[in-house]
A = this chain, B = another copy of it.
Amino acid sequence: MSDSPLEARLAQYLTLTFAERDALRWLERRERALPAGEILIREGEATDRLYIVARGWLHGSVKLKDGGRQILRFYFVGDISTTFSIAWGQSAATLQAVSDTQLFEIEKDAFGRLFRNHPRLGALLFAVSTSEQVAMADRLTSIGRTDGVTRIATLLLDIRSRLRVVDGLDGSVFSLPLTQQDLGDAVGLTKTHVNRSLKALEATGLVERQGRVIRINDVERLAEMVDFKDRHGSVATDWLPPPVARSDMDHTG
């Protein structure tokens, strides 16, 4: 695996300097494979590591008092698992591979040095993190105020949109290796009702299923119907500080 997922992601927003690209690749040295279904880290477990997704995807979840589970977000190629671990010495969520996954493992220290050596990247990562926060706010709205069909449709559109950015997914057909229970844990429905909602979605003709392969027949219309906003397309970069001069190149901080 020679491609750098994080570099590829950030390069979508910004033309990176050689030094910046170098620094990003420097982070991505310790590679690790994680088969589908395996758990990377558990809620509450101590850690000083972060992970960059290089292939496949994962989800982050928490256990509820009543034994249930809430899936909080998904991690796709180029995402960094800072959300639930960087602000504490332990993980605030359980990270589990949805599909076969390839990861780069990095120390929090090295991530910190990135802010020091490449402040423009630090600021860009801040912006990306913020856009993810807005995406989570959208999910909050979806879960809090809309019915089952809308929640499911919104989730499908969101996942498709992410896979598009990340896998270069061209059309509107994608594999969704989640059980209906998983979907329910993500949108706050029981598996029973997820099933009914999926059926109802299919009945509109806008979505088709064949096993765990999803086809969205009319993305525009479905997005309009459920008031979906794509937050993953772009990020403002006009406010970023200039990149550091070449002579400042340095990995050690």
B64 pairs with A227, CB closer than 8 A: yes
Please name the residue on chain B nearest to A116 by beta carbon: B241
Protomer copies: 2
A42 at the interface (CB under 8 A from B): no
In the bound assembly, the distance between CA atoms of A130 and B139 in angstroms comes to: 17
Residues of B within 8 Å of A125, CB to CB, are 126
Within 8 A of B (CB), among A106-134: 107-109, 111-113, 115-116, 119-120, 122-123, 125-134
Distance (whole angstroms) from the CB of A131 to the closest CB of chain B: 4
Which of A66-74, A157-165, A214-222 contacts its partner?
A: A66-74
A26 at the interface (CB under 8 A from B): no
In the bound assembly, the distance between CA atoms of A139 and B62 in angstroms comes to: 12
**Most-contacted residue by chain B among A62, A134, A238 (CB, 10 A):** A134
A86 pairs with B239, CB closer than 8 A: yes
B112 pairs with A240, CB closer than 8 A: yes
Which of A3-11, A94-102, A140-148, A196-204 contacts its partner?
A: A140-148
Distance (whole angstroms) from the CB of A172 to the closest CB of chain B: 22
Residues of B within 8 Å of A115, CB to CB, are 115, 119-120, 122-123, 126, 240-241
Given contacts A141-B62, A143-B140, are A88 and B239 in contact (CB under 8 A)?
Answer: no
In the complex, which of the residues B87, B93, B128 contacts A127, with contact meaning CB atoms closer than 8 Å? B87
Please name the residue on chain B nearest to A90 by beta carbon: B236
Please name the residue on chain B nearest to A127 by beta carbon: B87
A187 at the interface (CB under 8 A from B): yes
A235 at the interface (CB under 8 A from B): yes
A111 pairs with B239, CB closer than 8 A: yes
Residues of B within 8 Å of A127, CB to CB, are 86-87
Residues of B within 8 Å of A88, CB to CB, are 131, 234-236
